[in-house]
């Protein structure tokens, strides 16, 4: 993909600006029910109905996730959908004992990972100028950028899944080293966290735990 220039660039920018203005005018904010679904009343789930998640729906979740912004459009997140019995057994090697049943019972478990060599794709993702020199030969900077933006995309992923009618349960009780050895050996990818996906069994829910008030967590400078 080559960068737009001149009149083509100005036309594309004008179309994008007008499209965004029209969107904000037609939908200044989400209704409260939608906000409840994706955040306010959303829950982390650990029990699942015996109901499959289609490949088509997983494609839709990814496509929606991919629209979320990242630094320089780096898009470092990579997603492995573990659905097969064999894949589940491989993933179970990494889990703490209390998390194994939660993962095995979920229709899908996503490994949210990031590619440390994301910068190689920047000519496609960010065609305006060659930003590869910002990362090439700078492994620490590349790792920080990949982790930060991959985590951001993981958050988009969970909101996208909820927005499309799925339930999620993120998990961090596992060994990243074992996951990386089992699924990413010989690659430039590293795991971040796991996320079970499916249709929740609400009978396993308990009361929502407290959150900090604005005054406890926020300040001005």
In this structure, of 3-7, 53-57, 101-105, 182-186, the range with the lowest mean pLDDT score is: 3-7
Report, as an integer, the average pLDDT of 60-66.
98
How far is 38 from 159, CA to CA, in rounded Å? 6
What are the C-alpha distances in Å from 214 to residues 4, 104, 166, 208?
A: 44, 38, 29, 18
How far is 69 from 122, CA to CA, in rounded Å? 14
How far is 153 from 182, CA to CA, in rounded Å? 23
Report the percentage of the chain scoring pLDDT > 90.
97
Angle, helix 97-105 to helix 85-92, in steps of 10 degrees: 160
Domain ranges of the chain: 1-30, 32-202
Q: What would the two tokens of residue 140 be?
A: 């620490």
Is residue 53 predicted with pLDDT exceeding 80?
yes
Is residue 2 predicted with pLDDT exceeding 80?
no
Q: Please answer whether residues 161 and 168 qualify as being in contact, where contact means their C-beta atoms are separated by less than 8 angstroms.
A: yes
DSSP state of 84: S
pTM tops 0.85: yes
Q: Please answer whether residues 186 and 163 qualify as being in contact, where contact means their C-beta atoms are separated by less than 8 angstroms.
A: no
* Mean pLDDT, the chain, whole residue set: 96
Q: Please answer whether residues 91 and 113 qualify as being in contact, where contact means their C-beta atoms are separated by less than 8 angstroms.
A: no
pLDDT, tens digit (0-9, with 9 covering 90-100), for 75-131: 999 999 999 999 999 999 999 999 999 999 999 999 999 999 999 999 999 998 999
Is residue 3 predicted with pLDDT exceeding 90?
no
Q: What would the two tokens of residue 3 be?
A: 């960068």
State which CATH number among 3.40.470.10, 2.30.30.830, 3.40.109.10, 3.40.50.720 fits the domain covering 32-202. Answer: 3.40.109.10
pLDDT of 91 reads 98
Report, as an integer, the average pLDDT of 62-77.
98
Q: What would the two tokens of residue 76 be?
A: 């470092």
Instruction: Residue 152: name the closest of 69, 79, 81 by CA.
Output: 69
Is residue 1 predicted with pLDDT exceeding 70?
no
């Amino acid at each position: 993909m080559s960068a737009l220039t001149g009149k083509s660039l100005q036309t594309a920018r004008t179309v994008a600006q007008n499209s965004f203005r029209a969107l904000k005018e037609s939908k200044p904010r989400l209704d409260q029910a939608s906000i409840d679904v994706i955040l306010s009343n959303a829950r982390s789930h650990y029990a699942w109905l015996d109901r499959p998640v289609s490949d088509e729906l997983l494609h839709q979740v990814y496509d929606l996730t991919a629209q979320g912004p990242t630094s320089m459009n780096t898009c470092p997140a990579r997603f492995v959908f573990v659905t097969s019995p064999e894949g589940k057994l491989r993933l179970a090697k990494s889990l703490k004992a209390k998390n194994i049943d939660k993962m095995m019972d979920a229709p899908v478990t996503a490994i949210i990972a990031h590619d440390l060599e994301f910068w190689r794709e920047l000519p496609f993702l960010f065609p305006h100028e060659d930003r590869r020199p910002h990362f090439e030969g700078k492994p620490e900077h590349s790792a920080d950028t990949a982790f930060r933006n991959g985590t951001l995309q993981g958050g988009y992923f969970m909101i996208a899944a909820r927005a499309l009618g799925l339930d999620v349960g993120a998990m961090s009780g596992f060994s990243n080293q074992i996951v990386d050895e089992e699924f990413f050996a010989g690659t430039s990818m590293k795991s971040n966290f796991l996320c079970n996906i499916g249709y929740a069994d609400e009978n396993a829910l308990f009361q929502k735990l407290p959150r900090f008030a604005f005054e406890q967590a926020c300040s001005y400078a």
